[in-house]
Amino acid sequence: MMDKFEAFIKNKLEEGVAPSLSSLSVIKLAAKENSKTRCPSGRVRFLFAGLVAAVLSAIIALTVLFQFKDVDSREIARASKSISHSDNVTIQIIELLSVNDGENQDFTHISSDIDRLLSWQDAPYNEVAYEYSNQF
């Protein structure tokens, strides 16, 4: 709380005090310039938000895609390993392909793969498994 003397000095100091018009103009100009950089227009903000949303959607889509791809690769690798230790190449190859059936609905492609892989029965097991897993 201000006492009488303090209030008196305050009144005297504020007597006839006012900012000059040039100062006010400079302040207004600075505020205007600053708000241009600080506050983009509604349209720019909308475009920016759209761009961010598009980038985020793309990242999410790619993440999901690669996650499924990873699952396939892991299953194939596991299956390939079992082939390499099996004597019955044909059965193992068919099992390998059946793992992938749920994901890959292109049965024509799978059939041709089976045919091709069956024709390699004489090839070393590891080589057959490697060749197949590289296709995915």
Partner 1 sequence: MPNDSHLFENYVRRGDLESLSALVSRHSVWMLALLRGMLNSASDADDAFQDTWIRVIKSADRYKGGNIRAYLAIVARSVAVDFLRRRGRDMRFEPLVNENDEAIEIPDSSPTPDDRFESLARSDDVMRALADLPEGPRQVFLMRIEAELSFREIAETMDIPIGTALTWMQSAKVKLKKILGRLR
Which stretches of the chain bind partner 1, using CB under 8 A?
2-10, 12-20, 23-24, 26-28, 30-32, 34-36, 38-39
For residue 101, how many C-alpha atoms fall within 13 Å in the half-sphere facing its CB? Answer: 10
39 vs 59, beta carbon nearer partner 1: 39
Q: Are 75 and 99 in contact (CB under 8 A)?
A: yes
CB of 106 to partner 1, least distance (A): 55
CB of 43 to partner 1, least distance (A): 14
16 vs 102, beta carbon nearer partner 1: 16
Amino acid sitting at position 46 = F
43 vs 85, beta carbon nearer partner 1: 43
Torsion of CA 76, 77, 81, 87, to 10 degrees: 20
CB of 42 to partner 1, least distance (A): 10
